[in-house]
Each structure stands twice: as C-alpha cells, then as structure tokens.
C-alpha cells in the first residue's frame, strides 16, 4: 500500500508540473531549429502633442544654418543649489499635425517616421537655394509606453529608439511574474477616435511575431492579466483549494481511508 501511495503522489505531481509548464513556457510551437516569418520593422510615427527637436547644421555655411534652428533655452534648477543649464528648444506637434519652423514655416509631422521627417525638412531647406549641404537631425522626446498588471516592475517605459517590440517592453519591466497569464496579453492602442484592444499569446510564436502590436506605438498600454492562482488569492477558501499542498493533503487522506477500508 505504501508503494501505491507513493506512485499515486508522484503521478499527481507530474501531472501538475506538466500543466504548469504548458501555461508558463513561451513560444511552445517553435521547433528545435528553424526560422519563422515575422512582421517587417515598423518605425513609430509622429502624432499630435509629440515633442521633438530639429537641428540643422552645415559644414560650409554653419552660421547660415542657425537661422533654421530654434534658440537655445536657458533653464535653472533649484535643489539646494541654483545653477543654469542650456537646453535645445523643442517643437510640439500641433493638433492638425504640423510643427512651425523658423524660415520654413509649417512642416507636416503627423504620420511621418523620424527618417521621413528628416528627409522632408532637408528637402524644404534645399528648395530655398541657401544651403546645399544641410544636415538635418530629428530626435523625439518623451516617448513612452505603459506596462501594467502581473509584471515585476509595472510602470512607464521610455522609448529610446525608432521602434520597440512587445517583447522588449516586457523585458524592460523585468518580464512577467509567475502568476501572470502568458496566453492573454492585452495591448490597448489609441487609433483615431477609438481605443482598440489586441490580445497576444506569448506561448504561440505566430501570435506574437505576426501581431499588429508586435511593434508598439507611442502611448500603447500593455496589461498582463493575473492567472487563476493569483485571482484566487483574493479569497482564502479559493486560495486554499488551489494550493498544491492542500491537494496533496487531501490525496493522502483519501489514500489513508482507502487503506483502512481495504484492510477490513
């Protein structure tokens, strides 16, 4: 009878561990080796209220290039000690999608990537027939996405390049906790006058790599739902029922009763 009890307990543990692995392992459909198709790289595009800098330089006529730049702003910071700092002036994209540059006037920014806006400004400068060797540098400021729910360090993530994937964003917050659902990652995206919801299953590589939210957009919100165990912790009874130790204790009790019955 002791051997039967041991075998029964081991089978129960093995079954439990297999079911757990199915829920937490990423990309379960991937073969040992090989490739899988994914979406092309999608750079983030400017939209109203975005902040950005545009700097124009020239090797031949550096002074002439200055007329296209915003003046440098002087700021002061007080934290026990006062000191001054210079900061490049920045543009805020208007509600109708433009920035207003010195000399050039209104330049469309909404819907353009950083490289596309760079090319657009450079072309407009050359059309003035003033600077033929103009070099334009466009940089975005304060781009974020937000990650909430069952991750190790929820909060805002600063976007420091032209594109960011959902995997990079989750990695930036320390990955999902063990009690976060891998099969139902919600991404909320503002598109026009609507908030659209997308779901991604991290266990399925195709669901991730081919998702329209694999490459994130500025201000996307990622939410990781809690799994059943985490949700069950809101009630003591449910948490106790789902506890492995509780199940093992219950199994042991059933086996003990069975032994007593069979002995008779």
Nearest C-alpha neighbor of 70 from the set 47, 50, 90: 90
Residue 14: per-residue pLDDT: 44
- Mean pLDDT, the chain, rounded, equals 82
Residue with more model confidence, 216 or 76: 216
Residue 11: per-residue pLDDT: 45
Quick check: 177 pLDDT over 80?
yes
Quick check: 264 pLDDT over 70?
no
Q: Average of pLDDT values for 110-129?
A: 93
Phi and psi torsions of 19, nearest 5°: -65, -35
Residue 247: per-residue pLDDT: 63
Residue 36: per-residue pLDDT: 75
Quick check: 79 pLDDT over 60?
no
Residue range 51-141 forms a domain whose CATH class is: alpha beta
Residue 229: per-residue pLDDT: 74
Domain locations in the chain as residue ranges: 1-41+143-264, 51-141
Query: Nearest 5 degrees, angle CA 252-CA 254-CA 259?
Result: 95
pLDDT in tens, 202-246: 999 888 999 999 999 999 999 999 987 766 666 655 555 555 666
Quick check: 101 pLDDT over 90?
yes
pLDDT in tens, 56-71: 999 999 999 999 999 8
Residue range 1-41+143-264 forms a domain whose CATH class is: alpha beta
Q: Average of pLDDT values for 188-208?
A: 92
- Residue 157 in contact with residue 1, Cβ under 8 Å? no
Residue 18: per-residue pLDDT: 44
Q: What is the DSSP string of the chain?
A: -HHHHHHHHHHHHHHHHHHHHHHH-S-TT--SS-----PPP------TT-EEEEEEE-SS-HHHHGGGSPPPEEEEEESSSEEEEEE---EE--TTSEEEETTTEEEE-TT--HHHHHHHHHHHHHHTTS-SS-EEEEEEES-EEEEEESBSS-EEEE--SS--BHHHHHHHTT-B-TTEEEEEEEEEEEETTEEEEEEE-TT-HHHHHTSTTSB--TT-EEEEEE-HHHHHTTSHHHHHHH-HHHHHHHHHHHHHHHHHHHH-
Nearest C-alpha neighbor of 186 from the set 214, 224, 213: 224
């Amino acid at each position: 009878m002791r051997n039967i009890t041991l075998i029964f307990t081991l089978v129960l543990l093995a079954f439990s561990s297999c079911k757990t692995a199915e829920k937490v392992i990423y990309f379960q459909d991937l073969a040992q080796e090989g490739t899988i198709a994914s979406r092309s790289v999608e750079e983030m595009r400017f939209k109203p209220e975005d902040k950005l800098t545009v700097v124009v330089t020239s090797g031949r006529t550096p002074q002439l290039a200055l007329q296209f730049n915003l003046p440098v702003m002087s700021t002061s910071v007080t934290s026990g000690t006062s000191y001054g700092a210079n900061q490049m002036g920045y543009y805020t994209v208007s509600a109708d999608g433009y920035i207003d540059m010195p000399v050039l006037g209104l330049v469309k920014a909404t819907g353009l990537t950083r490289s596309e806006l760079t090319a657009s400004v450079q072309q407009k400068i050359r059309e003035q027939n003033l600077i033929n060797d103009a070099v334009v540098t466009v940089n975005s400021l304060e781009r974020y996405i937000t990650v909430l729910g069952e991750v190790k360090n929820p909060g805002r993530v600063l976007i420091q390049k032209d594109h960011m994937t959902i995997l990079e964003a989750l990695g930036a917050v320390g990955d999902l906790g063990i009690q976060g659902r891998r099969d139902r990652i919600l991404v909320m995206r503002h598109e026009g006058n609507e908030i659209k919801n997308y779901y991604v299953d991290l266990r399925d590589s195709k669901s991730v790599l081919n998702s329209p939210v694999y490459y994130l957009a500025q201000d996307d919100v990622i939410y990781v739902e809690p799994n059943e165990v985490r949700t069950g912790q809101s009630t003591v009874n449910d948490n106790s029922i789902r506890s492995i130790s509780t199940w093992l204790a219950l199994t042991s009790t059933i086996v003990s009763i069975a032994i007593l019955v069979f002995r008779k």
